[in-house]
Chains A and B, each alone.
Chain A
Amino acid sequence: MKRNLMRINLENKETNIKEFDEKYNKLGGRALTSALISEEVRTDIDPLSQDNKLIFATGLLTGINASSVHRLSLGSISPLTGGIKESNSGGIFALNMALNGVNALIVENCLSNLSIIKIDGFNVEILDAQNYKGLKTVETGYKLKEQFGSNISFVCVGPAGENQLLTASIVVSDADGMASRHLGRGGLGAVMGAKNIKAIVIINRKGFLKGDKPEDLKSNVKEYLKILANTKQTSEIYTKYGTAAMVDTTNALDGMPTMNFRYGSHENAEELNGIKLNSIITDRGGDTSHACMPGCTIRCSNIYTDSNKNEIVRSLEYETIVLCGSNLGIFDLDKVAVINSIINNLGMDSIDVGGAIGIMMDMGILDFGDYEGVIKLLEEIENNTLVGRLIGSGTFRTGVVLGSKRIPAVKGQGLPGYDPRAVKGHGVTFSTSAMGADHTAGMNIREGLDSHSKEGQIESSFKMQKLAIMYDSAGLCLFTHVAVRNNIDLILEMLTNLYGIKWTLNDLTSMSEKTLLIERNFNRKRGLGVYSDRLPRVFTEEYLGDENLIFDITPDNLDQIFSSIED
């Protein structure tokens, strides 16, 4: 199966399509975006200048008629971390890229006026978008459908992206065509805003990719679906309770960020957990098992409504529930849903915004639990005031400006919903990943280890960082892990029957290891030295909870994590 790379030069408005170079034949998703960024983007540039690029890529399995394989990767240099970044999202954009025959999309240079890029097959138009200026993300989605019809997929930015806030996300349309999924981490919405792109629209195509050996691939997919159906997590737990199912686990481990990471658990955690979420949504007649992409059988998303059945937000997820809930001392899902809705509609990363507001509360600027105060701060972002821009610059910069000594961030990016003192393997990943503190970079919350102990965490994090790249590069949702981890041969068979060339485990391992090194070396050239591979002092000097938990994995050990693959 041939794959194509589309390059759009915004300066001269020329588009070029070509088949993948042979060297990219076995790369997809994150492995592909990181390879292309490292080859095409100079390491000495300003991320918000015309020299940066946005590189969208489909996963290796994206486009086939299977569950949970249509994840979208976006590579760039992050204005938030300063390093190489891959942001990852569900939705239908990647599927329709693949069905249009566009497996990688490189957007380079800048436009002079706010515009929309429309892609229909290999035809590209750049259209004026002045009438979209300042529109929030949901409104933007509706307007795009008015202009282009409902048969589209899109990515777009909200006011935060247009204002080049460093926590700006890029929103991706979901299976209902709604602007709801987010390429959230790393502030890549600011890069899109700096390029004056309000949205990229793709005309949807029907059908799925059949592959080189359609019947064999169909049989593989049947087996794959059976495995997902026979695994409780993928057939029932994520489906009924969503990612909020994680609340009980982190709370029990004393690892649920609470009040700017001062605590790791809370007596009211049950007000935020998956059971509560399911109960509220079910009582109100909402949807607890929404699929963000066609064919997904896991259906972990939800549509959260108010008591009058009016939609507040889709989807209320674990990271937001924790960073904008327990981290702010707010233990009410209705309130968290409203906060989430405002942040999503501005087009921002709810993790980094929640982290920034948590610091403000910790510094006494407002009280923990002050919901009305949070809403006022979000209005400041909408009004693009100085305070709003400060919060929009994320957890790290807010903490630095306010003089906080307790800033939960690595490489300038706010920590997601796991306290590294209690979930030490995640602390290793947050420290050493080129992605910064990123919940998609390699989670090992229990790979057979005591998460409070430092024993085995380096090795486990290394393994999970490699697996995360494998999943992201295949286009596979990370939530399939529990089901497919013992069935990697089946994934290899799917790749073999799709592409008509033999895939081995070594292909995937080698791809993951090379990607880790490419990303790390790129960051080193960007000036992100060893100091950037450290957790902040709050986690190495301040004890957590009754057990006096501390992140006690030494810098020397952290620095050895990639030694087995380094020259």
Chain B
Amino acid sequence: MEIEIHLKINKMLGDVKVDKSYYDSFEMMKIVKGMSLLDLLTEIGFKYDETITIVNGKSVNIEYIFNNEDSVYVLPLLVGG
């Protein structure tokens, strides 16, 4: 069974496996219900510990299971400015 999330990938992360449109804005993506953050990042070609993922405005941990209509933003993990 599938659910829909809205995915955006920060441009600084560069091109990986997903369509370029995900670098411009939040685009709908169908995923398998029960998918965790780690599963998603692995599928689209990122290492969990090199990214920070914000779901509905909050950073989440590796075990997070997506809900329908989640807004998911993947950014590079940085330690400071």
Using a CB–CB distance below 8 Å, which chain A residues touch chain B? Answer: 231-233, 236-238, 240-241, 243-246, 248-249, 252-254, 274-275, 317-319, 322, 417, 439-440, 443, 445-446, 448-453, 478-479, 481-482, 546-547
Whether the pair B75, A252 counts as a contact (CB closer than 8 A) is yes
Separation in Å of the B57 CB from the closest CB of chain A?
Answer: 6
Q: A246-B81, A249-B78, A481-B79 are in contact. List 6 more A-B contacts (CB 8 A).
A: A237-B13, A245-B78, A275-B12, A451-B58, A479-B79, A547-B57
* In the assembled complex, B59 has its CB within 8 A of some CB on chain A: yes
Count the B residues whose beta carbon is within 8 Å of the partner chain — how many?
23
In the complex, the answer to whether B77 meets A233 with C-beta atoms within 8 Å is yes
Q: Bound complex: CA of A452 vs CA of B11, how far in Å?
A: 24
Query: Which 4 interchain pairs have the tightest Cβ spacing?
Result: A318-B81, A243-B81, A246-B81, A446-B52
- The docked-state distance in angstroms from the alpha carbon of A478 to that of B81 is 10
Which single residue of chain B is at the shortest CB-CB distance from A545?
A: B57
Q: Specify which chain A residues have a CB less than 8 angstroms from the CB of B49 in the assembled complex.
A: 482
A417-B10 in contact given A231-B50, A446-B59, A452-B59 (Cβ < 8 Å): no
Q: Is the CB of B77 within 8 A of A451?
A: no
Cβ of A253 and Cβ of B78 under 8 Å apart? no
> A237 and B76: CB pair below 8 A?
yes
Taking a contact as CB atoms closer than 8 A, the residue among A231, A232, A249 that contacts B52 in the complex is: A249
Does B54 count as interface, using CB distance less than 8 angstroms? yes
Whether the Cβ atoms of A274 and B52 lie closer than 8 Å is no
Q: Which of B58, B62, B76, B78 has the most CB of A within 10 A?
A: B78
**Which chain A residues border B12 with CB–CB below 8 Å?**
237, 240-241, 245, 248, 274-275
Does B66 lie at the interface of the complex (its beta carbon under 8 Å from any beta carbon of A)?
A: no
Residues of B within 8 A of A (CB): 10-14, 49-50, 52, 54, 57-62, 73, 75-81
Chain A min CB distance to B65 (Å): 14
Chain B residues near A248: list those with CB within 8 A: 10, 12, 75
Q: Which residues of B contact A481 (CB under 8 A)?
A: 79
CA distance A246 to B50 in the complex (A): 14
Which residues of chain B have C-beta atoms less than 8 A from A453's C-beta? 58
Tell whether A252 pairs with B57 under 8 Å between CB atoms, given A233-B77, A237-B76, A478-B79.
Answer: yes
B80 touches A478 (CB 8 A): yes
Picked from A244, A254, A446, the residue with its CB within 8 Å of the CB of B81 is A244
A482 to B59, CA, bound (A): 18
* Complex interface: chain B residues within 8 A of A274 (CB): 12
For the complex, give the distance between the alpha carbons of A453 and B57 in Å. Answer: 12
Q: Is the CB of B81 within 8 A of A417?
A: yes
Contacts of B73 in A (CB 8 A): 252
**In the complex, what distance in Å separates the CA atom of A289 from the CA atom of B79?**
18
5 A-B pairs in the complex with CB atoms less than 8 angstroms apart: A245-B78, A448-B61, A451-B59, A478-B80, A482-B78
- Look across to chain B and name the residue whose beta carbon is closest to the beta carbon of A451: B59
A482 and B50 contact, CB distance less than 8 A: yes
Q: Give CA–CA (A238, B81) in the complex, Å.
A: 10
A493 to chain B, nearest CB (A): 22
User: Whose C-beta in chain B lies nearest to the C-beta of A317?
Assistant: B81
Say yes or no: B58 contacts A445, CB within 8 Å: no
Contact B57 A253, beta carbon cutoff 8 Å = yes
Instruction: Count chain B CB atoms within 10 A of each CB in A252, A439, A450 and give the residue with the most.
Output: A252
Least CB distance from B24 to A in Å reads 12
Which residues does chain B contribute within 8 Å of A479, judged by CB atoms? 78-80
Residues in A with CB closer than 8 Å to B75 are: 248-249, 252
**Chain B residues near A238 (CB-CB < 8 A):** 78
Q: Which of B59, B76, B81 has the most CB of A within 10 A?
A: B81
CA distance A453 to B49 in the complex (A): 19
A215–B51 CA distance with the chains assembled, in angstroms = 35
A449 to B53 CA separation, bound complex (whole angstroms):
11
A270 smallest CB distance to B (angstroms):
10
The residues of B that contact A237 with a CB separation of less than 8 Å are 12-13, 76, 78
* Chain B residues closer than 8 Å to A245, beta-carbon distance: 12, 76, 78, 81
Output the least CB separation between B61 and chain A (Å). Answer: 5
Contact call B54/A443, Cβ cutoff below 8 A = no
A316 CB to closest chain B CB (Å) equals 11
What distance in Å separates the Cβ of B3 from its nearest Cβ neighbour in chain A? 21
